[in-house]
């Protein structure tokens, strides 16, 4: 069995607790225009050109090799570090990699996943068995607006409910994009949603343009977005704090 | 600079080289504010050299003529004054790069030492006896002139007849012996495990109320500043390379980690003073308190490049296996930079020559019929043949060294007195020579590229590849880039790379094994060396994508973006057994923001790295932007300190090629994050 990954990044300090190795899978069901990893949206290996050289986004890797790569930094993980599956959508290849997940659990490796949670129920069921921390995107909650990013709000909500029903450890991550997530009506919905679930932690972050070069290589253009001010971020964070929910701002 | 030295040595002999070095040091230390020509002229005019066939005559003349100064400031707590203008003539190699056992010196007076002088070898005995007399007379002279400063005088007089009994006295005694070492042409004088040595005095004085913590701190500050003030005179070829290293912390025989108030105080002072020198090394272990690691990282965070970490959990076993007594191994310090050194018991010349892994490859390419190298195994075998020849040549070169007779060191390094033999003739308990290895990284990456392009992918023949290299990759920019980026590389935790590296060093090891040096000791080497720039200047382009004259890679480092963990894993899997422990430093750059934003996780990383098993580690915490700015406007950054070789130095003191290389490495590091 082989997975398709675009990158395995070691010594990651921002993708969950402790020191982590982050595996970037290819494939995502959503189409967020601000996506910072546009090369990971497509499920397949993609060719691109740089300085006249033919290169590829993504490569196949066997589960054994992937496991070996993850275990290389085992000694640094200690109690809370481990592996983070990201992407694209970190859950997207979970069916394929279930044997790997099993082995990692046996090896006591902490597993995090970064996901849009807009995935089939089947994948969520597998994840619940193995994942220690879910880093779940919280974006647009009104289906009409959500169409813009190709998401399915009811599937999302159903999956979130499932995680909480199963007492999973969930951290919500909110990208603040003025035209999309940071609108008055969506903020209201988000707050309501948070109040309902009372997660242990919420992380908010601004979008960044580090992926711009990658858009170019894919013959796409990264759209411009309105800037969001520090005051706006603070006021949003304060509203979350008022709900007695921990919130932190993530620098990238 | 080194070329000039070599030429001078060749044409005019070592005596002139000695003068050249001394004049240079004096002119830069004393007259640096003057125009260069004037400063040299003044130095020549004022220098007095005492030169007699009989060492004792030179020594006594030297000490008779040293100018003794009056302590002018009555708040001064110590006497420390090197007379740069008076010196003995020591054209042969002076044994240096070592550290006296100061705990022994504090616990014994000169009279105590005399008691151990026996009749085994009458001539040696007389010389040593005379040497003590000369030192005692010198003490008397200082005391006479400074009789008003009672504390300093008592502390100095006690050196003759009593052991040290207070904290301040202990510091004075260390300063005094350090001063004597510099005064008698010894270079790179280490300071030893000062937290361990001084703690008893500290505790007594604090308990009895003689000193408060604040007073201790001030004394230590004065002590460090005194040691620092003549750093230009004390430096070897690069300013800052003084070898004044203090080792802190460390495990004892039971595995218990020893550190104390002074450990923390020294690090705090380094952080506060931000001086490049003296420098601090922390002996780390998985058993060390996390708090000490945090304190060390705070100090590193300031960018001053220290402390360097030496991993007791790896190093001590290697020392014992090599043949050092357990007790000695547990009490190790380091020579100048990082080479483990048995404190007070070894003549070890730990940086006696550089072992350049690229030179034999260069020779192979010049002399060998490349048509015959048809696969990777043959290539490796041929390389090993050349390596063997090269190492054997090094060994025979080292047979030609003569050391300066050294009655002073022979008094204080074990077992010269017991053996009745001067240290220069092998009187010490241990007499091993150490070589510092350089360019293994470039060789491994070269071999990998040859394997890849010639043998595996059949893109070209070795002869064709070699032509491209010989042309310095001219008009082959794209290919050059490919060579540079081609992996896996040295410094990655890739099995093939680790095995290849270990194969080469194991083989090098076997060549040295069973060979005796002129003092009767063995040879050892390590994988870090100060020669990555000097050696590279005359070395042609190499297959790793290094152009003609470009620097070799530094110590155990990598320019691959596999994060720091990969590099540490690699270092943890290198085989440092047998004779391969002469300093193996992982060296990397971190941006200040990276540590600021992730302090706790970075401490986690360092603590885990100890378990992974690095040998030694140092880092530069500075942004490329700052270095670039300082390169352009040096006057704005008079206090910017960076890490080079195994010491810290003022950025502005460094030659331009060192500055540029630091900038290049900083940029590379940042391009990954
Ligand atoms: S869910 Fe994440 S990976 Fe998928 S498109 Fe949106 S931002 Fe990109």
Residue-level pLDDT at B558? 86
Sign of CA dihedral B417, B419, B422, B424: negative
Using the Cβ of B493 and the Cβ atoms of chain A, whether some distance falls under 8 Å is answered with yes
pLDDT band at A242 (very low <50, low <70, confident <90, very high): very high
User: Quick one: B91 exposed, middle or buried, by C-beta within 10 A (0-12, 13-18, 19+)?
Assistant: middle
Query: In the structure encoding, which two tokens stand for residue A173, read together?
Result: 């991550």
Q: B574: distance to nearest CA of chain A, Å?
A: 15
Residue-level pLDDT at B251? 98
Give the closest residue (by CA) to ligand 1 atom 7.
A35
Residue-level pLDDT at B23? 86
Please answer yes or no on whether A19 and B608 come within 8 Å at the CB atom: yes
Interatomic CA distance for residues B509 and B504, integer angstroms: 9
pTM above 0.90, yes or no: yes
Angle at B296 between CA B293 and CA B299, to 5 degrees: 155
3-state secondary structure at position B571: helix
Residues B551/B532, Cβ–Cβ less than 8 Å: yes
pLDDT tens, residue by residue, B326-385:
999 999 999 988 999 999 999 989 999 999 999 999 999 999 999 999 999 999 999 999
Interatomic CA distance for residues B673 and B6, integer angstroms: 42
Of chain B, the percentage scoring pLDDT greater than 90 comes to 83
Q: What's the mean pLDDT in B192-199? A: 98
Residue-level pLDDT at B9? 64
Residue-level pLDDT at A136? 97
Nearest CA in chain B to A79: B604
Residue-level pLDDT at B4? 64
* Residue that is written with structure tokens 């008698």 in the block: B184
| Chain B partners within 8 Å of A76 (Cβ) | 565, 604-605, 608-609, 612
Chains A and B form CB pairs within 8 A to the count of 40
Nearest CB partner across the interface for A75, out of B566, B598, B608: B608
Model confidence at A10: pLDDT above 90: yes
Lowest mean pLDDT among B16-30, B152-166, B420-434: B16-30
Q: Which residue has better confidence, A78 or B193?
A: B193
Give the closest residue (by CA) to ligand 1 atom 3.
A88
pLDDT band at A50 (very low <50, low <70, confident <90, very high): confident
Q: What is each CA distance from B266 to A161, B441, B586, in whole angstroms?
A: 56, 35, 23
Nearest CB partner across the interface for A18, out of B566, B569, B604: B604
pLDDT band at B227 (very low <50, low <70, confident <90, very high): very high
Interface of B with A in 560-589 (CB under 8 A): 562-566, 569
Q: What's the mean pLDDT in B445-451? A: 98
Please answer yes or no on whether A10 and B611 come within 8 Å at the CB atom: no
pLDDT band at B3 (very low <50, low <70, confident <90, very high): low
pLDDT band at B563 (very low <50, low <70, confident <90, very high): confident
Q: What is each CA distance from A157 to A90, A151, A175, B506, B652, in whole angstroms?
A: 18, 11, 18, 60, 61
pLDDT band at A141 (very low <50, low <70, confident <90, very high): very high
- Which of B484, B495, B565, B572 best probes binding to A when mutated, by most A CB atoms within 10 angstroms? B565
Residue-level pLDDT at B18? 80
Q: A14: distance to nearest CA of chain B, Å?
A: 9
Expressed in angstroms and rounded, the spacing between residue A101 Cα and the centre of ligand 1 is 23
Interatomic CA distance for residues B509 and B443, integer angstroms: 17
Please answer yes or no on whether B493 and A78 come within 8 Å at the CB atom: no
Query: In the structure encoding, which two tokens stand for residue B177, read together?
Result: 């012996």
Nearest to B318 by CA among B515, B574, B578: B578
Interface of B with A in 591-610 (CB under 8 A): 597-598, 601, 604-605, 608-609
Nearest CA in chain A to B604: A76
Q: Which residues make Cβ contacts (< 8 Å) with residue A127, sequence separation at least 6?
A: A91, A94, A113, A115, A134
Q: Give the Cβ contact number of residue B333 at 10 Å.
A: 25
Nearest CB partner across the interface for B604, out of A10, A52, A78: A78
Residues B249/B215, Cβ–Cβ less than 8 Å: no
Identify each DSSP E strand in chain A by its residue range. 2-12, 20-25, 46-50, 53-57, 59-62, 82-86, 110-115, 133-137, 170-176, 201-206, 246-249
Q: Is the bond leading into B515 cis (omega within 30 degrees of zero)?
A: no
Expressed in angstroms and rounded, the spacing between residue A31 Cα and the centre of ligand 1 is 6
pLDDT tens, residue by residue, B477-508:
999 999 998 989 999 999 999 999 999 999 99
DSSP notation for B133-186: HHHHHHHHHHHHHTTT-HHHHHHHHHHHHS---SHHHHHHHHHHHHHHHHHTT-
Interatomic CA distance for residues A52 and A55, integer angstroms: 9
| Chain A partners within 8 Å of B564 (Cβ) | 11
pLDDT band at B39 (very low <50, low <70, confident <90, very high): confident
DSSP state of B583: -
Please answer yes or no on whether A81 and B604 come within 8 Å at the CB atom: yes
DSSP notation for B324-345: --HHHHHTEEESSSS-EEETTT
* Residue that is written with structure tokens 């750093």 in the block: B231
Query: In the structure encoding, which two tokens stand for residue B647, read together?
Result: 């010491």
Q: Which residues make Cβ contacts (< 8 Å) with residue A138, sequence separation at least 6?
A: A172, A173, A174, A190, A193, A194, A202
Q: Which atom of ligand 1 is nearest the CA belonging to A87?
A: 3
Q: What's the mean pLDDT in A158-180? A: 96
pLDDT tens, residue by residue, B378-394:
999 999 999 999 999 99
Please answer yes or no on whether B605 and A18 come within 8 Å at the CB atom: no
A interface with B, Cβ–Cβ below 8 Å: 9-11, 13, 18-19, 51-52, 72-73, 75-76, 78, 81, 251
pLDDT tens, residue by residue, A68-122:
999 999 999 998 899 999 999 999 999 999 999 999 999 999 999 999 999 999 9
Residue-level pLDDT at A21? 96
Mean pLDDT of the residues in chain B: 93
* Residue that is written with structure tokens 């971020």 in the block: A233
Q: Is the bond leading into B488 cis (omega within 30 degrees of zero)?
A: yes
Q: A77: distance to nearest CA of chain B, Å?
A: 8
Within 6 A (CB) of ligand 1 lie A 28, 30-32, 35, 37, 40-41, 87-89, 116, 137
Q: Give the Cβ contact number of residue B232 at 10 Å.
A: 17
| Angle of helix B495-512 versus helix B563-573 axis, rounded to 10 | 40
Residues A82/A109, Cβ–Cβ less than 8 Å: yes
Residues B424/B406, Cβ–Cβ less than 8 Å: yes
Cα torsion at B266, B268, B272, B273 (round to 10°)?
10
Model confidence at B7: pLDDT above 70: no
Residue-level pLDDT at B556? 95
Q: B443: distance to nearest CA of chain A, Å?
A: 25
Of chain B, the percentage scoring pLDDT greater than 70 comes to 97
Lowest mean pLDDT among B33-37, B81-85, B439-443, B587-591: B33-37
Query: In the structure encoding, which two tokens stand for residue B13, read together?
Result: 């002999």
Residue-level pLDDT at B310? 98
Give the closest residue (by CA) to ligand 1 atom 8.
A35
Element (H, E) at B7: helix B2-12
Interatomic CA distance for residues B353 and A151, integer angstroms: 66
Interatomic CA distance for residues B466 and B454, integer angstroms: 10
Complex-level ipTM: 0.89
Q: A19: distance to nearest CA of chain B, Å?
A: 7
Interatomic CA distance for residues A34 and B474, integer angstroms: 43
Query: In the structure encoding, which two tokens stand for residue B515, read together?
Result: 């060979």
Nearest to A115 by CA among A98, A99, A139: A139
Q: Which residue has better confidence, B217 or B666?
A: B217
| Chain B partners within 8 Å of A78 (Cβ) | 604, 608
Q: B553: distance to nearest CA of chain A, Å?
A: 23
Residue-level pLDDT at B672? 61
* Residue that is written with structure tokens 């009458």 in the block: B122
């Amino acid at each position: 069995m082989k997975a398709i990954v675009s990158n395995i990044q070691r010594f990651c300090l921002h993708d969950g607790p402790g020191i982590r190795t982050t595996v970037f899978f290819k494939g995502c069901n959503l189409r967020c225009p601000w996506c910072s990893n546009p090369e990971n949206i497509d499920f397949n290996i993609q060719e691109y050109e740089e300085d006249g050289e033919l290169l590829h986004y993504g490569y196949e890797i066997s589960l054994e090799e992937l496991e070996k790569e993850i275990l290389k930094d085992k000694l640094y993980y200690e109690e809370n570090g481990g592996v983070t599956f990201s992407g694209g959508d970190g859950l997207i290849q979970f069916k394929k990699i279930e044997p790997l997940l099993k082995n990692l659990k046996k090896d006591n490796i902490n597993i995090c996943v970064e996901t849009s949670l807009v995935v089939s129920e089947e994948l969520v069921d597998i994840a619940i068995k193995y994942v220690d921390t879910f880093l779940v995107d919280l974006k647009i909650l009104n289906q009409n607006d959500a169409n813009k990013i190709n998401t399915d709000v009811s599937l999302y909500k159903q999956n979130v409910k499932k995680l909480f029903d199963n007492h999973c450890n969930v951290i919500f991550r909110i990208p603040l994009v003025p035209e999309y997530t940071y609108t008055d009506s969506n903020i209201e919905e988000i707050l309501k949603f948070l109040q309902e679930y009372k997660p242990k932690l919420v992380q908010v972050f601004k979008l960044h343009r580090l992926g711009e070069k990658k858009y170019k290589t894919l013959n796409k253009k990264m759209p411009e977005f309105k800037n969001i001010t520090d005051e706006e971020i603070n006021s949003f964070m304060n509203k979350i704090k008022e709900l007695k929910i921990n919130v932190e701002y993530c620098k990238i | 600079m080194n070329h000039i030295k070599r030429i001078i040595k060749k044409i005019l002999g070592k005596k002139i080289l000695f003068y050249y070095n001394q004049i240079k040091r004096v002119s830069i230390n004393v007259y640096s504010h003057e125009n260069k020509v004037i400063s040299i002229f003044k130095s020549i005019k004022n220098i007095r050299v005492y030169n007699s066939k009989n060492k004792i005559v030179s020594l006594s003349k030297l000490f008779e003529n040293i100018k003794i100064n009056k302590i002018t400031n009555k708040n001064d707590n110590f006497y420390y004054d090197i007379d740069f203008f008076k010196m003995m003539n020591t054209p042969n190699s002076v044994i240096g790069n070592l550290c006296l056992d100061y705990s022994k010196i504090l616990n014994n007076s000169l009279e105590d030492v005399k008691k151990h002088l026996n009749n085994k070898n009458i001539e040696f005995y007389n010389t040593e006896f005379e040497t003590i007399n000369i030192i005692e007379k010198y003490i008397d002279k200082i005391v006479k002139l400074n009789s008003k400063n009672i504390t300093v005088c008592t502390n100095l007089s006690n050196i003759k007849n009593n052991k040290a009994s207070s904290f301040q006295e202990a510091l004075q005694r260390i300063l005094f012996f350090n001063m004597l070492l510099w005064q008698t042409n010894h270079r790179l004088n280490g300071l030893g495990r000062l937290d361990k040595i001084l703690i008893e005095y500290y505790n007594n004085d604090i308990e009895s109320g003689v000193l408060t913590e604040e007073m201790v701190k001030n004394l230590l500050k004065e002590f460090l500043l005194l040691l620092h003030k003549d750093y230009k005179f004390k430096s070897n070829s690069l300013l800052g390379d003084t070898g004044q290293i203090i080792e802190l912390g460390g495990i004892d025989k039971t595995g218990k980690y020893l550190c104390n108030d002074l450990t923390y105080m020294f690090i705090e002072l380094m952080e506060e003073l931000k001086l490049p020198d003296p420098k601090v090394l922390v002996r780390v272990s998985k058993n060390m308190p996390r708090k000490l690691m945090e304190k060390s990282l705070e100090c590193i965070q300031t960018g001053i490049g220290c402390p360097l970490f030496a991993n007791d959990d790896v190093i001590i076993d290697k020392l014992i296996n090599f043949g050092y007594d357990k007790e000695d191994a547990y009490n190790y310090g380091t020579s100048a930079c990082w080479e483990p050194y048995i404190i007070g018991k070894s003549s070890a010349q730990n940086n006696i020559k550089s072992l350049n892994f690229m030179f034999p490859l260069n020779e192979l390419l010049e002399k060998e019929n490349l048509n015959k190298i048809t696969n990777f195994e043959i290539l490796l075998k041929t390389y090993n043949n050349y390596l063997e020849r090269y190492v054997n040549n090094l060994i025979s070169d080292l047979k030609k060294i003569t050391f300066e007779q050294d009655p002073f060191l022979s008094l204080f390094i074990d077992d010269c007195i017991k053996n009745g033999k001067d240290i220069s003739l092998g009187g010490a308990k241990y007499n091993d020579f150490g070589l510092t290895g350089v360019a293994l990284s470039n060789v491994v990456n070269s071999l990998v590229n040859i394997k890849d392009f010639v043998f595996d992918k059949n893109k070209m023949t070795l002869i064709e590849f070699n032509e491209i290299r010989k042309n310095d990759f001219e008009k082959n920019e794209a290919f050059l880039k490919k060579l540079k980026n081609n992996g896996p590389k040295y410094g990655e935790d890739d099995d093939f790379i680790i095995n290849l590296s270990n194969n080469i060093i194991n083989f090098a090891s076997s060549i040295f094994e069973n060979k005796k040096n002129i003092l009767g000791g063995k040879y050892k080497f390590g994988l870090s060396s100060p020669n990555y720039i000097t050696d590279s200047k005359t070395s042609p382009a190499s297959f790793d994508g290094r152009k003609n004259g470009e620097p070799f890679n530094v110590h155990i480092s990598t320019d691959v973006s596999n994060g720091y963990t990969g590099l540490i894993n690699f270092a943890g899997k290198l085989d440092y057994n047998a004779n391969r422990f002469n300093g193996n430093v992982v060296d990397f750059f971190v941006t200040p923001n990276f540590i600021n934003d992730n302090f706790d996780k970075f401490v986690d990383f360092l603590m885990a790295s100890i378990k992974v098993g690095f040998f030694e580690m140092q880092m530069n915490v500075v942004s490329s932007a700052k270095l670039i700015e300082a390169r352009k406007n040096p006057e704005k950054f008079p206090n910017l300190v960076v890490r080079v070789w195994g010491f810290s130095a003022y950025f502005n003191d460094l030659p331009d090629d060192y500055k540029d290389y630091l900038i290049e490495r900083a940029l590379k590091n940042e391009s990954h994050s």
